[in-house]
């Protein structure tokens, strides 16, 4: 009788041994719940729990997400978008500081805009004056060539070269004038955005001041 009880005592000893005290609980692909002192490798990255000898959960493991190639690419794409957004936010903050440090009131912006437009306008007027003068010279040269041809005479090379030079000069000054005109529009658009942003920043500053004043009055019991 004594010898027959030995396996039972051995079993109880093994089950109570600390080595086998840890148990695992997991669910397979079909939704069946399993218990065991070892968990199959394929479930190590899945959601599972570690239990003590009383069956209480001592540690819960969430499923380890394995990224696919497409998910990794999407993650990188979103990270790049976020970095670009942060970069733009820093640049905007820098521009805002410069704007507020450079101009005190909206009138300052208007004055700066007028000065910039006047400067470019003067350059444009000069270009237009040169264009008008070049057109006049070219017109005279073309009429001279027309008279020579009408009289059956050969047009001298120096006159033809003069006409080509005047045509080239006219094209150059027309391009310069177009550049000045484009610059005027760019300055107008730029200052429109400056003024809009300036108003937004001033409004934000006013809100901050009002909130600070409200807290001060509340602290002093004035409200």
The per-residue pLDDT string of the chain (223 residues; one tens digit each, 9 = 90 and over) reads 444 444 444 444 444 444 446 788 888 888 889 888 888 888 888 888 888 877 788 888 887 777 788 888 999 999 999 999 999 999 999 999 999 999 999 999 999 999 999 999 999 999 999 999 999 999 999 999 999 999 999 999 999 999 999 999 999 999 999 999 999 999 999 999 999 999 999 999 999 999 999 999 888 887 6
CA angle 108/110/115 to nearest 5° reads: 95
């Amino acid at each position: 009788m004594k010898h027959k009880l030995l396996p039972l005592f051995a079993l109880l000893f093994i089950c109570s041994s600390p080595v086998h005290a840890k148990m695992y609980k997991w669910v397979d692909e079909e939704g069946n719940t399993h218990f065991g002192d070892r968990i199959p490798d394929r479930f190590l990255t899945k959601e599972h729990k570690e239990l003590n000898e009383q069956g209480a959960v001592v540690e819960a493991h969430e499923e380890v997400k394995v990224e696919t190639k497409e998910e990794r690419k999407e993650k990188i794409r979103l990270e790049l978008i976020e970095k670009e957004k942060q970069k733009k936010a820093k640049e905007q903050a820098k521009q805002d500081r410069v704007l507020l440090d450079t101009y005190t009131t909206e009138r300052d912006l208007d004055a700066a805009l007028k000065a910039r437009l006047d400067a470019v306008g003067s350059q444009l007027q000069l270009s237009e004056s040169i264009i008008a003068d070049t057109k006049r010279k070219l017109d005279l040269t073309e009429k001279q060539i027309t008279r020579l041809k009408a009289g059956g005479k050969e047009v001298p090379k120096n006159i033809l070269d003069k006409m080509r030079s005047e045509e080239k000069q006219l094209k150059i000054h027309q391009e310069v004038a177009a550049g000045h005109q484009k610059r005027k529009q760019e300055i107008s658009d730029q200052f429109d955005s400056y003024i809009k942003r300036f108003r937004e920043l001033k409004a934000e500053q006013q809100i901050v001041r009002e909130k600070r004043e409200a807290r001060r009055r509340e602290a002093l019991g004035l409200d």
